Amino acid sequence: MLVLGIGAPAARLAKALDAPLIDIGRDDPGEAVAEATRRGVNLILFVGCPDEALRPQPFEALSDTQWCEGVDRPLELMLSTLHALSARYQADPPPVVFAGPSMALSGSDGLSLLAAVAEGQRALMKSAARQMGKRGFRFTWIAIDTLLFAPELQGAELPKSQDPDPLATGSAADVGQLMALLSLLADPRAKGIIGQSLVLDGGELMLP
């Protein structure tokens, strides 16, 4: 596995998963994907969450630069990464899993950048899956429990559950569960899972 991404969540997940990280905010996404081909990785994990989006603040206080760095730029980096994947992999590309925080599915008070960029990336993932799936590309999205994805958001105004006992499993999602899910998605037998959004949150949100 290789992690491509930006921001603290990418670095943290790479470390937790014991996978190498290429920072595509610093290095060209084309070079990052070339490195993936050289290594012959069995899965690419893309985590395009900028640090800018992880600082809770009122929407009206956001600057133009914060909006650009928090939303526009990460979407552009993901598009560049898709271009590189398309160009580099002529056959047998590895599955690519995109990841974001589960809160983005619901939105969150003070975290409009984070929800906007994650939902934008998720829609881009689906679109790319629709277009590139016939060439063997298999793209999916994992919405990771927000505090596992970004523990720095502890204390932020995250969406509150209306259920007194919100976690179906009784405990929060952990890195071992994330690794298990990634292993499942890396398996060629999972090729029918494409363009989907999988929520790893201990069974709290349960999408409609």
Residues binding another protein (CB under 8 A): 58-60, 62, 64, 67-68, 71-72, 75-76, 78-80, 82-83, 86-87, 104, 106-112, 114-132, 157, 159, 195, 208
Q: Which is nearer to another protein, 37 or 174 (CB)?
A: 37
Smallest gap from residue 18 Cβ to another protein (A)? 31
Smallest gap from residue 82 Cβ to another protein (A)? 5
Question: Nearest-5° angle of CA 185, CA 165, CA 109?
Answer: 75
Smallest gap from residue 60 Cβ to another protein (A)? 5
Number of Cβ within a 10 Å radius of residue 160: 8
Q: Which is nearer to another protein, 1 or 93 (CB)?
A: 93
Give CA–CA dist 104/70, Å, rounded.
14
Question: Nearest-5° angle of CA 131, CA 74, CA 120?
Answer: 55
Task: Please state whether 156 falls in left (phi above 0), alpha (psi between -120 and 50) or beta.
Answer: beta
Smallest gap from residue 174 Cβ to another protein (A)? 26
